[in-house]
Amino acid sequence: MATPTFKKLMYRLGGAGLDVWRRRLGLGEEQTAIDLCHRLVGLRGEASAIVIADEIISRFNAMNDDQALQFFEQLVDHFQPDSESLKIAAEFYLAEPGPEAASALADAALAPRQSVFRLLSTSPAGVPALVKLRERLLAFLAKNPQLQPLDSDLMHLFLSWFNRGFLELRRIDWQTPAHILEKLIAYEAVHEIRGWDDLRRRLAEDRRCFAFFHPALQDEPLVFVQVALTQDTATVIGDIIDEAMSDELIPPKTAIFYSISNCQSGLRGVSFGNFLIKQVLLELKQEFPSIENSLTLSPVPNFRRWVQSVLADPDLIETYGLSENRVARLTALDQEIKNNNEAADLLEECRPALLRLCAAFLLFERRADLPKDAVARFHLSNGASLDQVNWAGDLSARRLKQSFGILVNYLYEADKLEQNHEQLVNDGEIAASSIVKKLANGKHTRRAA
Amino acid sequence: MATPTFKKLMYRLGGAGLDVWRRRLGLGEEQTAIDLCHRLVGLRGEASAIVIADEIISRFNAMNDDQALQFFEQLVDHFQPDSESLKIAAEFYLAEPGPEAASALADAALAPRQSVFRLLSTSPAGVPALVKLRERLLAFLAKNPQLQPLDSDLMHLFLSWFNRGFLELRRIDWQTPAHILEKLIAYEAVHEIRGWDDLRRRLAEDRRCFAFFHPALQDEPLVFVQVALTQDTATVIGDIIDEAMSDELIPPKTAIFYSISNCQSGLRGVSFGNFLIKQVLLELKQEFPSIENSLTLSPVPNFRRWVQSVLADPDLIETYGLSENRVARLTALDQEIKNNNEAADLLEECRPALLRLCAAFLLFERRADLPKDAVARFHLSNGASLDQVNWAGDLSARRLKQSFGILVNYLYEADKLEQNHEQLVNDGEIAASSIVKKLANGKHTRRAA
Amino acid sequence: MATPTFKKLMYRLGGAGLDVWRRRLGLGEEQTAIDLCHRLVGLRGEASAIVIADEIISRFNAMNDDQALQFFEQLVDHFQPDSESLKIAAEFYLAEPGPEAASALADAALAPRQSVFRLLSTSPAGVPALVKLRERLLAFLAKNPQLQPLDSDLMHLFLSWFNRGFLELRRIDWQTPAHILEKLIAYEAVHEIRGWDDLRRRLAEDRRCFAFFHPALQDEPLVFVQVALTQDTATVIGDIIDEAMSDELIPPKTAIFYSISNCQSGLRGVSFGNFLIKQVLLELKQEFPSIENSLTLSPVPNFRRWVQSVLADPDLIETYGLSENRVARLTALDQEIKNNNEAADLLEECRPALLRLCAAFLLFERRADLPKDAVARFHLSNGASLDQVNWAGDLSARRLKQSFGILVNYLYEADKLEQNHEQLVNDGEIAASSIVKKLANGKHTRRAA
Amino acid sequence: MATPTFKKLMYRLGGAGLDVWRRRLGLGEEQTAIDLCHRLVGLRGEASAIVIADEIISRFNAMNDDQALQFFEQLVDHFQPDSESLKIAAEFYLAEPGPEAASALADAALAPRQSVFRLLSTSPAGVPALVKLRERLLAFLAKNPQLQPLDSDLMHLFLSWFNRGFLELRRIDWQTPAHILEKLIAYEAVHEIRGWDDLRRRLAEDRRCFAFFHPALQDEPLVFVQVALTQDTATVIGDIIDEAMSDELIPPKTAIFYSISNCQSGLRGVSFGNFLIKQVLLELKQEFPSIENSLTLSPVPNFRRWVQSVLADPDLIETYGLSENRVARLTALDQEIKNNNEAADLLEECRPALLRLCAAFLLFERRADLPKDAVARFHLSNGASLDQVNWAGDLSARRLKQSFGILVNYLYEADKLEQNHEQLVNDGEIAASSIVKKLANGKHTRRAA
């Protein structure tokens, strides 16, 4: 029996329920949200704690930015660890370091903010509200570094709460409840879903969609992945998004992961996509023993910006062996794309150079040893290998602006993931097909490679 | 779609699954559990992390006590916070205290043991295994205080994981799957369930049983409560446990909470019973608007031991106004009960004195301001009031030895819980019916009360 | 465990499954559908029976009208009861009438067609296919009375299969799977649902939608009803369909049944709506004790055609006391509506006459003692009473053409349904509010009423 | 949403519900059950129809045998087809035979008893009550042939209601709700389940249990089958029932169907077992591709009685070539078994003769062309083949008395079921292994075979 939420119970118990309780608890306007937080921490009677938590959440949701910022600052200030105890614990540790002193110090350093958040989470609406709260907090963070401790506290809790072991994988299809499906439409980040008919196509017999859910976020997906089941590798997104596919049940040979979207920006930094892809690989293998290859069809979001930086830097132009004419054409193309102009011929002309540059970009350009491109970083860190660089994979305005329309296939081979991952992390070596390597190392590519 | 667990998936994927992986990962005998913990923390490829976590768990489960103790000690030692960083953070805080320094200090003081535990929890068997691990740890703790930091780490995680907001209330009845019901038989702590027929009686139409479950412990109840729906207050346990009750559907007037059992000793210190009773009160109110009174029928586990201490102390004998003869009879009775002898007449003779003493014990005897008796402490802290002290409530050997067979009713009145709780915590005042107060304050009860 | 259907199993068992079986059974083109029906009846091995049933169903679905007609005729002819046995049974009954002879006669008269249909139904796709088959049969029936026996056989089976006791009431809301919701959009017969956004509005918090389902038609609704929960009675459909309603949870006082749609035309004559409304009344009463009134907002589909017949008949013109001018105006209005012209002023001018005529039409015009209007017949037979006749209830082209835009409220009062129903069936008396009665009996309404 | 049953709704709606309704409907004692049946048929208002149906069912359940017999007789008499119409229809058919006249005759011959039963079934308790009603009817039938028409009517309805297409296959395991499991204990007909611990063993990892359920009988299994998953063929029941089996997950090679039990004696003649075995074969094949053989371990319930008839008939003694001494030993053994005496040596002495006779009995003795033994008839008609005759398969008193302890394996080979079935039905040929054939045709077996 799934039991009704507290609030619904209250409602059903009649008008006497929530309102009476709120009145009895004296939750009047004269008390600020931060006052209520103090009260929450002091309380032990949980039924009323839930009512107060609900009240704090409603008030926070109604705050404008100034008010929210002030509330965040108050949280940081009012719920610090006790400075006296912390001082003693720190001194004691310095005097006699050791596991017990460290443990005591950790306890003393634990900010009561975490208790506030933990108590807020006991409301049925609590965890979703805290995820939204962090979303707002993140927006302030860059300009308000003094809020960093608050983010540490939330991350600390989120890492426990959104533990891999608590996530539930669910298949999403046309039998899925509508209120979940509408969230897919809202959250799809890679290839926009254009309404219910488009969605239905994406959930047809020859597709699979899986999402992670969390018990405290009920029917809110955390991350979802869309897969097309095909005979051959797809290199062009239109083949997947637009085409009607046969609904004959031919056992598929290839699984194409063509979209993976994080849904909760308040969970930034808590990573799920990695687990999701790997578990879905197992699920598909189980349902379709006929699948031989699993690969992605992915954007290269940081490529064009990098090309711009190359074009602006004579050294790099030399490194990549770009002729003057080539530089001129690429610069012209970049300008046309910026202006949303049709430039099919120019684009075609730049094809060899861009393909070569893209392969090189993905293989050689790094940020802290990992690939510079965010999507490459994700998949290659997962242990996938760079399999193919596809010209004209997606000619939408958005992809033209990201990567001149280039899409990439990353290959997931179950028995090489571990090794690929280790090689990248330990030796900085990226797993790639010989075709891509050859492409990247073509004449003039990078003299000093 | 609830998806199959990783291990099952592996199994289905054929012999090639788990074993091959284990071999590929080189999980040989030459590596100790603690070696594997180091490896686990170093890894990023989660699929293999799960396999290693599983391996560590199996090894731990196979350890004898000496091995387990050694493993615990190694965990404490090997996964301490980095002492250099912690030293710096402590010094920095002492130099410039403030929220940011405190937050940095908290981060530095966080023991990597928590990461070990968090990574172990990603195995589908992880959370249950950690609960069992703490159960073993608790057994060592008294004699091995050096393991305390480990317990702090586990408690810290458990408080996040077993957050009230993540618990699911489920009704347990005869429609409940057998593998859950058999756990009720195993865990019932208050009034033993004697097999499936007895269980069935406890789940009849005029009863309710509710339990809290947690998503990561699947079908393992955390705590459950048993309620009898009656017309009148019950004062004798046999009326609830033994009697066949009418299965006519007469709207009940009274809900008797006659048993509440914690199921997971590894979760000691993470409290659920309080929430459970309060949520069940709401559920019952919702299902049966006819219910007028909700009360418990509870043991008094610490009463006889206290009586023994009174009988052994002339001052207390005087305080409680016990005549020499009375002391002799009580002492004799105590001895008979100790020897498991029938002593019905003697018991009946001591009735007035024991009832009076019991009321006084519950109302006046304290431990750190709260009631000395563990069950009284639980219910009175929840905000219940002491309603009735019942002679011959349960004449089983166990209850005779605990409380001379006395049982007690605690009354839960929804709109007084808050106030009763506050009064107890702030003013040390226990809410009780006038009958019980009068009983406790009877002539000679306590001169100086 | 819901187990996969036979066909899916076959599919999963690999290519070897269904096709091999079909080949082994020799289901070649040279065998006609009717041949296969003969074979089906002769068979006992059920696994192959299901394959043959599937084959017959696919063939039928591929037939054009001529082929279907021929197939129906063959079914009638080929699967008659054995004429010799039937003759003997008939003669025996005539010679010695009595329960046993009658029972034997009934057995002898049972057409083997029913066996054919029953065997077809063992295919997972069988029952839905038979419902579609009857839909096609009904289309032929008027011109091909020789197919009547086939319809009798199907109705006989359907009455058993779609027994009230087998229907499952389910609530439909925004949590309902999308593949069911899309059927609501398709089947809504009363007020068209304009896409998913409109649907979502219809399933908001202040609405309820319920449907009957049948285990053999899985996720195909048989009939569904839409209810708006309001404070006051609605008299204008726009108030329900278009307006955004408050989503505050104010306990509703009124339940407005504003649409009831049958979904399966192949089940014509098997009535569900009656049960549905009554069960939904109970469900709503249970969820919202605050509801005081339950009534419909219904079209009057046969009103304008009746007005036309009045205008064309001098006797009726006299009976209803219509002045020459009135007749002219009504005739003009009727013409404008026929031509889809705006005629707001003319419509308003005719208001008093049309309201009066409509009340009279509903109260006095009968077909076989029951109300002539189909919707009135349905609700009044259910025991509802005629509560209000509403001007401009729905000014859409469709309703203008049906009833000059008039809508009607029928009132469902739980404790009068029985009595109202009996009075209508036994005495021909229609339950109506005094306002409607007065309106109908106004001066000149019907001299001889 | 599964909605609460009518009766529960009534109950929840308060005391005012069912009782008030019963009173308003005037369901007093002065009306007999048969009066109420008349009223039920006359009614159209369904809500009250359900109340009356409930009342009839309660009254029937309270009847003693004399009252039930009288009620059955009244049903036969009072609800005959209208004799006048039936006479006319019969005469018309005799005059002008043809499909339409036959169809009209079938309609006229349909007894209103079926309407009574159909209306009774609309009560939520209706279908289960009718199954129990037929159970009682069957007990009367032998001595009261005049009730035969009633049984025809019920069978007619049951064949429609318990259509293969409406049955739901569910796996039964230790996760199954207790109220269903307790029915398995009650219904197991082949090898008694001795309480919950025994049941748990039967539902262990290396077992499978499946049952058919019907939507109108909710959680009442219709028939269930128990399967052991093993490496090798089992020939002795103790190997399956008593032994603890390895719970290591070794992919099984053999599926042993060791028990199949019908649960509802009121559904006698409506066969499910056939479908069940075949669907379970598919399910197991799907879950365990490793399974190579599927066979039963079955009793031979009619063997010893047949041996007795042989021993009593000099012709048969000669036919089966039994020496005088052999006859004497067999007769002595038969007597010892009858008297429940230990006779291990004598049994062993008779082994060759009994094995030979058993093979011959199963292969050659027929009833209407099908095997004389009931269990052989079932499995061989399903298309299984007789694979092995096992000495000392089950030495319980029950099996010794049935078959001198012999058990038999029937082999289910998916691609021979059809052919085996056809050969048996068309040519009377039983499929058997060469070992069994050789055994049966041994010297002296049957001269004229």
- For B223-265, write each residue's pLDDT tens digit: 999 999 988 888 888 888 776 655 556 788 999 999 999 899 9
**Structure-token pair, residue C198:** 């409109």
- Which helix (H) or strand (E) segment holds residue D210: the answer is strand D207-213
| B165 in A contact zone (CB under 8 Å) | yes
Q: How far is CA A206 from the centre of its chain?
A: 26
Per the CB < 8 A criterion, the answer to whether A163 and A270 are in contact is: no
| Predicted local confidence at residue B401, as pLDDT | 96
| Predicted local confidence at residue C267, as pLDDT | 93
Model pLDDT for residues B75-107, shown as the tens digit of each residue: 999 999 999 999 999 999 999 999 999 999 999
| Predicted local confidence at residue D445, as pLDDT | 45
SS3 A64: coil
Q: What's the pLDDT band for B442 if we cut at 50, 70, 90?
A: low
Model pLDDT for residues C94-103, shown as the tens digit of each residue: 999 999 999 9
| B174 in D contact zone (CB under 8 Å) | yes
Query: How far is CA B355 from each of CA B303, B384, D22, rounded to the nearest angstrom?
Result: 11, 20, 51
Sites in chain D below the pLDDT cut of 70: 1-25, 44-47, 243-249, 442-449
Per the CB < 8 A criterion, the answer to whether A343 and A329 are in contact is: no
SS3 C372: coil
Q: Which of A121, A259, A294, A298 is catalytic?
A: A298
Q: Which chains, if any, share at least 3 CB pairs under 8 A with chain A?
A: B, C
Following DSSP, what letter does each residue of D362-385 receive, concatenated?
HHH-EETTEESSHHHHHHHHTT-E
* Topology annotation, domain B299-440: Aminopeptidase (3.40.630)
Model pLDDT for residues B317-343, shown as the tens digit of each residue: 999 999 999 999 999 999 999 999 988
Q: What's the pLDDT band for C238 if we cut at 50, 70, 90?
A: confident
Per the CB < 8 A criterion, the answer to whether A373 and A407 are in contact is: no
| Predicted local confidence at residue A12, as pLDDT | 45
| D102 in C contact zone (CB under 8 Å) | yes
Q: Which of C379, C381, C396, C421 is catalytic?
A: C379
Domain(s) of CATH 3.40.630.180: residues in chain B: 165-296
Q: Average pLDDT of chain B?
A: 87
| Predicted local confidence at residue C442, as pLDDT | 67
Percent of chain A at pLDDT > 70 equals: 90
**Between C173 and A236, whose confidence is greater?**
C173
CB contacts of D251 in chain B (<8 Å) are 15
**Contact across the interface for C177 and A179, Cβ inside 8 Å:** no
**Contact across the interface for B11 and D181, Cβ inside 8 Å:** no
| Predicted local confidence at residue A15, as pLDDT | 40
- Which helix (H) or strand (E) segment holds residue A211: the answer is strand A207-213
| B11 in D contact zone (CB under 8 Å) | yes
| Predicted local confidence at residue B165, as pLDDT | 79
| Predicted local confidence at residue B191, as pLDDT | 79
| Predicted local confidence at residue A243, as pLDDT | 67
| Predicted local confidence at residue A447, as pLDDT | 39
Q: What's the pLDDT band for C249 if we cut at 50, 70, 90?
A: low
**Structure-token pair, residue B241:** 């446990």
Q: Given A127, A152, A164, which is nearest B165 (Cβ)? A: A127
Residue of B nearest to A420 (CA): B45
| Predicted local confidence at residue D2, as pLDDT | 32
Residue B3 has pLDDT above 50, yes or no: no
Q: What's the pLDDT band for C45 if we cut at 50, 70, 90?
A: low
Give how far C423 is from chain D: nearest CA, Å. Answer: 12
| CB burial of residue C88 (10 Å; 0-12, 13-18, 19+) | middle
Residue B409 has pLDDT above 60, yes or no: yes
| D141 in C contact zone (CB under 8 Å) | no
- Interface mutation vs chain D, best among C103, C172, C382, most D CBs within 10 Å: C103
| DSSP code, position B423 | I
Residue A386 has pLDDT above 70, yes or no: yes
| Predicted local confidence at residue C145, as pLDDT | 94
Q: Given A123, A126, A417, which is nearest B47 (Cβ)? A: A417
**Contact across the interface for C13 and D274, Cβ inside 8 Å:** no
Phi-psi sector, C63: left (phi>0), alpha (psi -120 to 50), beta = beta
Model pLDDT for residues A319-333, shown as the tens digit of each residue: 999 999 999 999 999
| Predicted local confidence at residue B31, as pLDDT | 83
| Predicted local confidence at residue A232, as pLDDT | 85
Q: How far apart are CA C304 and CA C154, in angstroms?
A: 36
* Topology annotation, domain B165-296: Aminopeptidase (3.40.630)
Q: What's the pLDDT band for C204 if we cut at 50, 70, 90?
A: confident
Crossing angle of helices D113-120 and D33-42, in 10° steps, is 90
Per the CB < 8 A criterion, the answer to whether D269 and D379 are in contact is: no
Single-letter amino acid code for the residue at A263: C
Q: How far apart are CA A410 and CA A77, in angstroms?
A: 47
Residue of C nearest to A195 (CA): C196
- Candidates C385, C438, C404, C256; CA nearest to C335 is C404
Model pLDDT for residues B12-30, shown as the tens digit of each residue: 444 445 566 666 667 777 7
| CB burial of residue A131 (10 Å; 0-12, 13-18, 19+) | buried
- Candidates B78, B93, B115, B151; CA nearest to A89 is B93
Q: How far apart are CA D431 and CA D410, in angstroms?
A: 10
**Between D96 and C194, whose confidence is greater?**
D96
Model pLDDT for residues C108-150, shown as the tens digit of each residue: 999 999 999 998 988 878 899 999 999 999 999 999 999 999 9
| Predicted local confidence at residue D280, as pLDDT | 92
CB contacts of C8 in chain A (<8 Å) are none
Residue B170 has pLDDT above 50, yes or no: yes
**Contact across the interface for B46 and A93, Cβ inside 8 Å:** no
Catalytic annotation on A121?
no
Domain(s) of CATH 1.20.140.90: residues in chain D: 4-161
| C179 in A contact zone (CB under 8 Å) | yes
| Predicted local confidence at residue B25, as pLDDT | 67
**Structure-token pair, residue B206:** 């005029």
Model pLDDT for residues C347-387, shown as the tens digit of each residue: 999 999 999 999 999 999 998 889 999 999 999 988 899 99
Q: What's the pLDDT band for C447 if we cut at 50, 70, 90?
A: very low
Model pLDDT for residues A90-124, shown as the tens digit of each residue: 999 999 999 999 999 999 999 999 999 999 988 87
**Contact across the interface for A178 and C177, Cβ inside 8 Å:** yes
Q: How many CB atoms lie within 10 A of CB B11?
A: 15
Q: What's the pLDDT band for C244 if we cut at 50, 70, 90?
A: low
Q: Which chains, if any, share at least 3 CB pairs under 8 A with chain C?
A: A, D
Q: Which of C259, C261, C298, C403 is catalytic?
A: C298
Model pLDDT for residues C388-439, shown as the tens digit of each residue: 999 999 999 999 999 999 999 999 998 888 789 888 988 889 999 999 999 9
Query: How far is CA D225 from each of CA D180, D189, D212, rounded to the nearest angstrom?
Result: 14, 11, 9
Q: How far apart are CA D105 and CA D363, in angstroms?
A: 45
**Structure-token pair, residue B170:** 């489920």
| Predicted local confidence at residue B437, as pLDDT | 95
Helices of type H across C63-192: 65-78, 83-95, 99-109, 113-120, 126-141, 148-161, 178-187
Domain(s) of CATH 3.40.630.150: residues in chain A: 299-440
Per the CB < 8 A criterion, the answer to whether C230 and C252 are in contact is: yes
Percent of chain C at pLDDT > 70 equals: 90
C299-317 mean pLDDT: 96
Superfamily (CATH) of domain C4-161: Malonyl-CoA decarboxylase, oligemerization domain (1.20.140.90)
CB contacts of D118 in chain C (<8 Å) are 159-160, 163
